[in-house]
């Protein structure tokens, strides 16, 4: 049952968007907040101080909670582990989101998500159970990426990357959207509203996910407390969807959550790599068979120089160490033959090992990535730049070298 209450003027919910849903002996008060509003911060603080609620839930996942409450947590990150686990792109996406939030904080004078931080810290200070109900932002990025296709992923990645450099101030219309919407949706800009798959993953799926997590949280309540009161602090854009799912959803919460956390696994058979490797090796063999040693050797040398040269060039543009450039040159011709030898990962690992990022680099990272010069000055950012530009150079080299080889064989 959804209750549309009209709070008195002294009630902390007065003037704030909210919904109240009662189900299974639990009363859920959904407080819709603006992630860039001091009024929302005050409302959350007053609601918790009133002592009415038995538990508090917030629209955060552990990673975002850590970013809000432990600003130096990034300095403890193992960058080499990030590279080895092939999470460089995800790490860069987090940086894009962080840079966007930093610009908001500078323009509006309030940290985005401050009301969520207050909800979590005030609940803990009062000894109330505190539940993080949002889906891991990494899973949201992955599920969105899988649904977009390669061109959509390129546009999304380009938008996030541009967000790190562009220092454009938000207009009044954009600020009003932020007050009504969701920080992740806002970070993706117009691309979110124009792309149904992205909107569904970033907004609709999370509505259902958070409703399931709220029901799981309620199941942990002491049996003697009836009704059990939970205050859920979420972005105003989630109110309608969240209330609807809380009221009508019948499936088991664990099953819902498992389905919304699943990520489609890549095929165990790397078909593209196998086809590309067969083309390259087959081209070498064809050259030796039809043209003899000279033609075969020329094809191999051409492949090494084109792929290795462009991969090394990308690394050099990124300001890579000479040994990182050498690693890129050696790995690039082999990248199409074996995924474990990805040139961007190899050169970035060498770079991170030879020029190990310092504590100061991590602490300055969010500021440095907002300027072009900062990407080359900051060692963490330079490792990421190394990864992306080396990978880009290798990809161009593979296509260029492949077309030249094909021309040579059919010429």
Q: Which residues contact 324 (CB under 8 A, 6 or more apart)?
A: 315, 347, 348, 350, 351, 354, 386
The pTM of the full predicted model, rounded to 2 decimals, is 0.72
pLDDT of 227 reads 80
The band of 2, judged by pLDDT with boundaries at 50, 70 and 90, is low
Confidence grade of residue 165 (pLDDT, cut at 50, 70, 90): low
How does 183-200 read in b/e, with b if 16+ C-beta sit within 10 Å?
bbbbbbbebbeebeebbe
Higher pLDDT, 218 or 67: 218
Quote the percentage of the chain above a pLDDT of 90: 32
- Which pLDDT value is given to residue 116? 87
Q: Which residue has the higher pLDDT, 289 or 321?
A: 321
pLDDT at 131: 94
What are the sequence ranges of the domains in the chain? 2-261, 271-410
Q: Say whether pLDDT at 126 is over 80.
A: yes
Q: What is the pLDDT of residue 104?
A: 65
Question: CA-to-CA distance for 232 and 210, rounded, in angstroms?
Answer: 10
Q: What is the pLDDT of residue 320?
A: 93
Q: What is the reported pLDDT for 170?
A: 57
Beta strands at 2-3 and 55-58: parallel, antiparallel or unpaired: unpaired
**Mean pLDDT on 126-131:** 93
pLDDT of residue 268: 60
**Cβ atoms 210, 262 nearer than 8 A:** no
Q: What is the mean pLDDT of residues 258-267?
A: 81
- Residue 199 banded pLDDT, cuts 50, 70, 90: confident
Q: What is the pLDDT of residues 22-31, one digit of tens each?
A: 988 899 999 9
Confidence of residue 253 (pLDDT cuts 50, 70, 90): very high
Flag whether pLDDT at 177 surpasses 60: no
Q: Has residue 132 got a pLDDT over 90?
A: yes
pLDDT digits (tens, 9 = 90+) for 134-159: 998 888 888 887 877 666 666 666 66
pLDDT of residue 316 exceeding 60, the answer is yes
% of residues, the chain, pLDDT over 70: 76
pLDDT exceeds 70 at position 202: yes
Yes or no: say if 99 and 369 are a contact pair by the CB < 8 Å rule.
yes
Average pLDDT, the chain: 80
Question: Strand 26-33 and strand 55-58: pairing?
Answer: unpaired
209 bridge partner residues: none
Which has more pLDDT, 362 or 10? 362
Q: Map tokens 């860039």 to a residue.
A: 36
Q: Is the per-residue pLDDT at 122 higher than 90? A: yes
Contacts of 218 (CB under 8 A, 6+ apart): 24, 26, 28, 228, 230
CB neighbourhood size of 168 (10 A): 11
Q: Of 363, 366, 384, which is closest to residue 102 (Cα–Cα)?
A: 366
């Amino acid at each position: 049952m959804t209750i549309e209450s009209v709070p008195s003027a002294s009630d902390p919910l007065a003037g704030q968007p909210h919904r109240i849903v009662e189900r299974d002996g639990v009363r859920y008060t959904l407080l819709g907040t603006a992630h860039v509003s001091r009024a929302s911060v005050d409302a959350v603080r007053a609601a918790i101080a009133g002592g009415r609620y038995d538990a508090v839930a917030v629209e955060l996942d552990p990673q975002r909670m850590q970013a809000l409450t432990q600003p130096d947590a990034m300095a403890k990150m193992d960058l080499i582990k990030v590279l080895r686990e092939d999470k460089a792109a995800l790490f860069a996406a987090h940086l894009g989101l962080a840079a966007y939030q930093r610009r908001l904080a500078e323009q509006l004078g309030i940290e985005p998500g401050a009301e969520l931080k207050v909800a979590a810290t005030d609940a803990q200070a009062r000894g109330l159970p505190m539940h993080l109900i949002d889906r891991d932002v990494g899973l949201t990025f992955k599920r969105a990426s899988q649904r977009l296709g390669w061109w959509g992923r390129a546009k999304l990645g380009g938008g996030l990357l541009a967000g790190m450099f562009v220092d454009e101030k938000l207009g009044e219309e954009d600020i009003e959207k932020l007050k009504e919407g969701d920080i992740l949706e806002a970070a993706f800009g117009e691309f979110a509203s124009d792309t149904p798959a992205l909107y569904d993953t970033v907004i609709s799926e999370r509505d259902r996910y958070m409703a399931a997590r709220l029901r799981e949280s309620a199941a942990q309540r002491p049996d003697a407390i009836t009704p059990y009161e939970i205050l859920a602090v979420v972005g105003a854009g989630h109110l309608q969807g969240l209330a609807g799912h809380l009221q009508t959803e019948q499936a088991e919460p664990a099953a819902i959550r498992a389905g919304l956390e699943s990520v489609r696994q890549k095929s165990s058979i790397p078909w593209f790599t196998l086809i590309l490797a067969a083309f390259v090796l087959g081209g070498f063999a064809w050259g030796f068979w039809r043209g003899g040693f000279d033609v075969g050797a020329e094809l191999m040398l051409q492949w090494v120089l084109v792929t290795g040269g462009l991969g090394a060039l990308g690394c050099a543009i990124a300001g890579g160490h000479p040994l990182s450039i050498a690693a890129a040159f050696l790995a690039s011709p082999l990248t199409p033959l074996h995924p474990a030898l990805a040139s961007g990962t190899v050169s970035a690992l060498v770079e991170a090992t030879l020029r190990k990022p310092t504590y100061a680099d991590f602490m300055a990272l969010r500021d440095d990535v907002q300027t072009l010069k900062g990407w080359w000055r900051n060692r963490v950012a330079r490792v990421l730049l190394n990864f992306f530009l080396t990978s880009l150079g290798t990809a161009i080299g593979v296509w260029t070298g492949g077309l030249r080889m094909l021309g040579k064989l059919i010429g």
